[in-house]
Amino acid sequence: MRKNVIVVFFLLLYFVLFTQVQAVFDNNLKENLNSTDRIIIRTRQVESISKVQEMTKRLNLRFIRQLKIPKTYSVGLPTNKISQYVSLLKSDPMIEFIEPDYKVQALELTDDPGIINNAQWGMFKIIAAGNDTSAWTSTKGSPSTRIAIVDSGIDQNHSDLSQKIVVQRNCTDEISIDDIYGHGTHVAGIAAAETNNNLGVAGVGYNSSLINAKALDNHGSGYHSWIAECIRFAVDNNASVVNLSLGGSVGTQTLKDAIDYAWTKGAVVTCAAGNTGKSKAQYPALYDNCIAVAAIDKNDVKASFSTYGASWVDVAAPGTNIYSTMPNHTNNIGPINYGNLSGTSMSTPHVSGLAGLLRSMDNNFSNVQIRSLIEINADNISGTGNYWRYGRINAFRSVNDAIEITPTPSIPEVSPTIVLISPTVELTPVPTIIPPTIILSPTPSPTPLTTITPTPTPSNKPWWCVYVPQYSLCR
């Protein structure tokens, strides 16, 4: 009897957990029924690819590939057949969960490049750059800090970007990793274009390096599985910051898991709030481990297109008429080499560049500290508390605050490795006694001996001060 009770208990537990997972899928399904031609399958255990392929073949589905995510696969299915195949697959004991592989879109709005006035006004608005004092007067970042641009790619041959790319991956179905759409190149330039090279534009992150993680196709859209795979790739290749200038109206467990993975690995994740002009939350910006970024104009006013909501949008940053790098070849957005775009896509890399500067100041800063430095030092502009929680970012204040909490390197305690084996021991005055002078003196007396080897006066200074007289305790 007791065995039966235990069995029933675990069956009920399994049912509750499984239905909770499926509820996430079902809710997404109702909102975007049949809006994609792919699903994501995660198995309960590590299975061979052939076994998953057999399952999909049996159901006349198209096995696309195993993702670079543990136990996770991309599977194609006929258009308008999601609900039918979900019913077939969710009862398979091999499957942990299934969900639609929704697409996200790059979040830019094209502007006429025309004549550019105050071209990079955003850099001055957040006081990254300035005529007198700015964030860059205190730090110019470091090449060891990597900012991942998970986007449509980065132009491989752009003179303001090519030397910044340290590692790259194509997570899409496109043949080329290059930026044919044009969005990723623009975003990359804002975050970390080659700076102080008398050419083109400057990047907020100044000396920061770039990871080119292509997750959007040549038309500016990409599946959640592509985004998730690129996020994990970037973090596994030491990305300190992950920039997501993309979004959509629904989320998935796969996308959320990838962002949570990045956060647990110490990366700062920045996400565009969206360009709907409404308050309905967008994904992935809604996720807790994203810094959600809205757009403001030159007057510190919310851009008309920017999605907003103080309950989930964290900060604002410049996002209208932003001048930055564009591919130096024909692209689907239009401008070549340099150009203007607007959107929360442009706001987000301002925050990413600032996060890169802060990480370079102290590699021991956690992502929690960096996020806090960005948020609490934001300027309380109009709309704060209504459109966004903290305000418009202020790079100068964030960097100065970081300087105050960065520990000043101190001289270590007395250690034999510092003093006893130091070659400066040869400088001790003991060997300076010169007996020949005493021997040759016609009237030797104790007096010269006293002047040659004076008796040391007692001192409260540490004995090792002779080697480091400049140290404060030795003065």
| CB count in 10 Å sphere of residue 245 | 31
At 89, is the secondary structure helix, strand, or coil?
A: helix
Q: What is the DSSP string of 145-193?
A: SEEEEEES---TT-TTTTTTEEEEEE-SS-S--S-SSSHHHHHHHHHH-
Show the DSSP H helices in 32-81 as ranges.
49-58
- On whether the CB atoms of residues 292 and 313 are closer than 8 A, the answer is yes
Cα–Cα distance for residue pair 279/354, rounded to 1 Å: 26
Type of residue numbered 96: E
Cα–Cα distance for residue pair 409/214, rounded to 1 Å: 40
Name the catalytic one among 151, 178, 217, 314: 151
Edge-to-edge, what's the strand order for the sheet holding 221-223?
221-223, 103-106, 246-247
What residue ranges in 6-77 does DSSP mark as E strands?
A: 38-43, 62-66, 72-76
Cα–Cα distance for residue pair 15/405, rounded to 1 Å: 50
Cα–Cα distance for residue pair 436/192, rounded to 1 Å: 69
Cα–Cα distance for residue pair 465/475, rounded to 1 Å: 9
Cα–Cα distance for residue pair 226/386, rounded to 1 Å: 33
Q: What is the DSSP string of 278-343?
A: S-S--BTTTSTTSEEEEEE-TTS-B-TT----TTT--EEEE-SSEEEE--SS--SS---SEEEEES
Name the catalytic one among 142, 345, 347, 360: 345
Name the catalytic one among 101, 111, 183, 217: 183
Tokens for 101? 């592989």
The verdict on whether 183 is a catalytic residue reads: yes
Cα–Cα distance for residue pair 268/369, rounded to 1 Å: 10
The verdict on whether 151 is a catalytic residue reads: yes
Q: Sign of the CA dihedral 218, 219, 225, 230? A: positive
Tokens for 350? 């301002």
| CB count in 10 Å sphere of residue 354 | 32
Tokens for 280? 């309905």
List active site positions: 151, 183, 345
